[in-house]
Amino acid sequence: MNQAPSPSAYLDTLRHPLVRDLAWLLHAPDLLVTPYPGRPTLDELGLGDAPTCAAWLAALEADPAALETALDHRLTGRLGLYHEALWHFLLDRAPATRLLGRNLAVRDAHGATLGELDLIYRREGDGPPVHLELAIKYYLGLADGPGPPDAPARWIGPGCADSLALKHHHALTHQLPMSRRPEARALLAPFGAPPLARRLAILGVLFRPWRAVLPLPRGCAPGAPVGVWLHLADWPAFRATLGEARGAFLDKPHWLAPPPDDALQSLAALGERLDGHFRQHTTPRQLVVKTASGTRHRLFVVADDWPRLVPLAPRAAG
């Protein structure tokens, strides 16, 4: 097998934002090691060698109409739904997989919804259908927080509404077991004899606090993407460490791939936009900065009083 190149090798040749996000998704590693297999690999998708992967992406860049149609209804709203729609397209169009079902509601005898199966797919000629649960998450680590320094509960979302510990617990105790519940049998019957294989793909970025030493959380997967977060008051000092660099804001739903180089602005312009944003809003802003050496850094800049609250750890995890 020829190893496909890194996402940056593709991103340098791609302009369309949806195709760039799909290229990022193809290479994004799992955030966590869990008892279940993680994201489908490039080999499993039939895109495991460089020429095939490059040609597949180039064809979408040349004719993105099908991708635009599939994603049009997800370009506003929740990032998670956009991420799911990218996976739906990918698993239905990749050379070695086919999408069988998506967003399947599991209901009890009274019609109440118990949960939803993100998607069911099959690898061509290989084993049973797969129930895949998905998440795209961006967690900021707290130097001071609940549990020991490597506690997943210390890694919280920028909106302070969830944590890595909560997401991990919910995925393992609720989302993945849903396909094995008796209420799901009739729903899954058209896809073949049970049980389905089960996989969990939690992708995203972990952001360490600037100027603080914090280990990555327990269970973090090797190669998980890591960035930095800082308070607005620290931006001038942080900017001084970057030298000659340029950057850009990432606006939802395009939190996946960085923008092309010609969309990058000076750090002075970014600083002015940050000041203007936080004069009117308290929501954190995600940025990508590219240094003169070509290194890209993911950043979250947050208000000086962030976080205003810290989510509790799941009860089962103490």
Per-residue pLDDT of 35-63, as tens digits, reads 999 999 999 999 998 899 999 999 999 99
Tens digit of each residue's pLDDT (9 = 90 or more) over 7-37: 666 788 899 999 999 999 999 999 999 999 9
Nearest residue to 91 via CA among 44, 49, 21: 44
Tens digit of each residue's pLDDT (9 = 90 or more) over 177-205: 999 999 998 899 888 766 889 999 999 99
Q: CA angle, corner 3, sides to 100 and 127, nearest 5?
A: 30
DSSP 118-129: EEEEEETTEEEE
Neighbours of 318 (CB within 10 A): 10
CB 277 within 8 A of CB 286: no
Neighbours of 29 (CB within 10 A): 12
For residue 5, pLDDT beyond 60: no
Rounded mean pLDDT, 271-296: 95
The whole-chain average pLDDT of the chain stands at: 92
- pLDDT value of position 10: 75
Residue 128: asked if its preceding bond is cis (omega within 30°), the reply is no
DSSP 19-33: HHHHHHHHHPPPSB-
CA dihedral 246, 137, 198, 54 (to 10 degrees): -10
What is the pTM assigned to this prediction? 0.93
Instruction: Tell me how far apart the alpha carbons of residues 153 and 108 are, in angstroms, rounded to a whole number.
Output: 32
Tens digit of each residue's pLDDT (9 = 90 or more) over 205-230: 999 999 999 999 999 999 999 999 99
- pLDDT value of position 27: 92
Residue 207 backbone phi and psi in degrees, to 5: -115, 115
- pLDDT value of position 316: 54
Provide the pLDDT confidence category of residue 253 given band limits of 50, 70 and 90: very high
Tell me the torsion sign for CA atoms 221, 225, 230, 234: positive
Instruction: Tell me how far apart the alpha carbons of residues 260 and 262 are, in angstroms, rounded to a whole number.
Output: 6
What are the extents of the domains in the chain? 7-317
Please name the residues in contact with 119: beta carbons below 8 A apart, sequence gap of 6 or more. 84, 87, 88, 91, 99, 101, 102, 103, 131, 132, 134
